[in-house]
């Protein structure tokens, strides 16, 4: 019995000596003061809302794309005719008060028209020349279009109304969207007897460009019949183009923390 007790004591001494030599400790672990401690009992909740903002303003400027299309079996003839018409159109635009910097070449192309295989005639070459113009005097838009058509424009591709400083109104629409999101979040938080805390995330989902396009089916081709009836279509004072308001829209998604 005595021998067994001595053996146990000897074993204990050896084990303790080994622990001292190796630095092993059986004391409870102590966290570093700088370690992050996450409180699992936090009562903060997240709430996600969307906000919509809108700004409507009177248009300040008109953006117009005019086209001249000519065709001929001889490509050089088609080009020459197109060039002559376009020179007359540009000169007329200057007479209408359009500044040089507001007249820009938008598109120029030349190609053969499609001819069915069973047709014997040679295909015509078609030349298309488009110019983009900016009209600052909105009361003059109708007269500009009428004068252009009278000089040979046979394709009005687009007519849009906008403002000069689009960024200013885009930012105002964005401000309105953020305010709308905060109002929604505050209303929801109040319903649950909570208040808004930090903003966790903000996403701008969409901000639309403020351009209002006239209903011209994107591409309005002026036929010979339409030209003959120009007095009925445009009237003596030109095309009556009344654009209405230009609308800027913005959408945001915001995540708030409630407490």
Question: pLDDT truncated to tens, each residue of the chain (259 aa)?
Answer: 545 444 444 444 444 444 444 444 444 443 443 333 233 344 578 999 999 999 999 999 999 999 999 999 999 999 999 999 999 999 999 999 999 999 998 899 999 887 666 666 778 899 999 999 999 999 999 999 999 999 999 999 889 999 999 999 999 999 999 999 999 999 999 999 999 999 999 999 866 666 655 544 333 444 444 444 434 433 334 455 566 788 999 999 999 999 9
Residues paired with 249 in a beta bridge: 54
Render pLDDT for 210-255 as a digit per residue (tens, 0 to 9). 665 554 433 344 444 444 443 443 333 445 556 678 899 999 999 9
CA 183 to CA 28: how far, in whole Å?
A: 51
pLDDT at 128: 95
Q: What are phi and psi of 102, to 5 degrees?
A: -100, 10
Largest interatomic CA distance in the chain: 131
Give the separation between CA 61 and CA 99, rounded to whole angstroms: 13
pTM for the whole structure: 0.64
Sheet holding 45-57, edge to edge: 45-57, 246-258, 196-207
Mention every residue, 6+ apart, whose C-beta is less than 8 A from residue 153: 66, 67, 68, 85, 89, 222
């Amino acid at each position: 019995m005595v021998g067994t007790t001595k053996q146990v004591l000897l074993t204990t001494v050896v084990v303790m000596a080994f622990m001292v030599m190796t630095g092993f400790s059986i004391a409870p672990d102590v966290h570093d003061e700088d370690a992050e401690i996450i409180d699992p009992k936090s009562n903060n909740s997240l709430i996600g809302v969307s906000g919509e903002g809108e700004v409507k303003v009177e248009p300040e400027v008109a953006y117009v794309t005019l086209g001249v299309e000519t065709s001929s079996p001889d490509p050089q003839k088609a080009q020459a005719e197109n060039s002559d018409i376009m020179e007359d159109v540009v000169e007329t635009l200057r007479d209408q008060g359009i500044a040089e910097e507001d007249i820009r070449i938008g598109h120029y192309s030349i190609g053969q028209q499609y001819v069915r295989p069973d047709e014997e005639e040679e295909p015509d070459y078609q030349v298309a020349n488009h110019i983009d113009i900016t009209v600052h005097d909105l009361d003059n838009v109708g007269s500009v279009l009428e004068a252009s058509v009278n000089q040979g424009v046979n394709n009005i591709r687009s007519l849009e109304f906008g403002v000069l400083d689009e960024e200013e109104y885009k930012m105002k629409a964005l401000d309105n969207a953020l305010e709308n999101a905060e109002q929604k979040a505050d209303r929801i938080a109040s319903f649950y007897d909570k208040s808004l805390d930090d903003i966790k995330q903000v996403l701008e989902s969409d901000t639309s460009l403020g351009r209002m396009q006239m209903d011209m089916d994107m591409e309005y081709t002026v036929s010979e019949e339409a030209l003959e009836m120009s007095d009925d279509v445009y009237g003596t004072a030109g095309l009556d183009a009344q654009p209405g308001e230009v609308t800027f829209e913005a959408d945001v998604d915001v995540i708030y923390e409630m407490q």
